[in-house]
Amino acid sequence: MLSTWQPSLARHVRLRHDPVRDADLLLLPERVVVLRGSAAEILRLCDGKHTIEAIVAELAHGHPNAPVDHEVPAFLERVHIQGWLT
């Protein structure tokens, strides 16, 4: 994955908090994805400005003992393959 990649959510994907279920959701055509763990926190940083490195750094700051170096890029790659990130 390019280190210069500044991911942003695809145009047809919407990220929102659902206060009724107290959950973060991705809304897509014919589909709702319930985000677990830090998924929403990571995707909120996908604003087209943060690089992967910057996103990892932000997460590492909030989760000092988590294996974010490996897990955050792997998660973003999975979401990218789904077509939800550009």
Partner 1 sequence: MIPPPWALLAELTHACPLQCGYCSNPLQLVRPNAELTTDQWCEVMSQAGAMGVVQAHLSGGEPLLRPDLVPIAQAAWEAGIYTQLVTSGIGLTEQRLADLVAAGLGCVQLSVQHPDANANDAIAGRRSFADKQAAAAVIRAAALPFGLNVVLHRGNIDTLDRIVELALDWGADRVELANAQFYGWAQLNRRALLPTTAQLRRAAAQVHAWRDRLGSRLELVWVVPDHLDGTPKPCMGGWGAVSMTVAPDGTVLPCPAAASISTLKFENIRNLALKDIWSHSSAFAAYRGTDWLPSPCRDCSRKEEDFGGCRCQAFALTGDAARTDPACSLSPDHGLLRRVLGDTGDEAPVARSYRNAPGPRPTTERAPTS
Positions that interact with partner 1 (CB under 8 A): 11-12, 14, 16, 18, 20-21, 25, 27-30, 32, 83
Residue 82 identity (one-letter amino acid): Q
**3-state helix vs strand vs coil in the chain, percent to 5:** 35, 25, 40
Closest CB 14 distance from partner 1, rounded Å: 6
Considering beta carbons, is residue 12 or 78 the nearer one to partner 1? Answer: 12
Nearer to partner 1 among residue 30 and residue 64 (C-beta): 30
CB atoms within 10 A of CB 78: 11
62 burial level (CB within 10 Å; 0-12, 13-18, 19+)? exposed
Smallest distance, partner 1 to C-beta of residue 28, A: 8
- As measured in angstroms, the least distance from the Cβ of 22 to partner 1 is 11
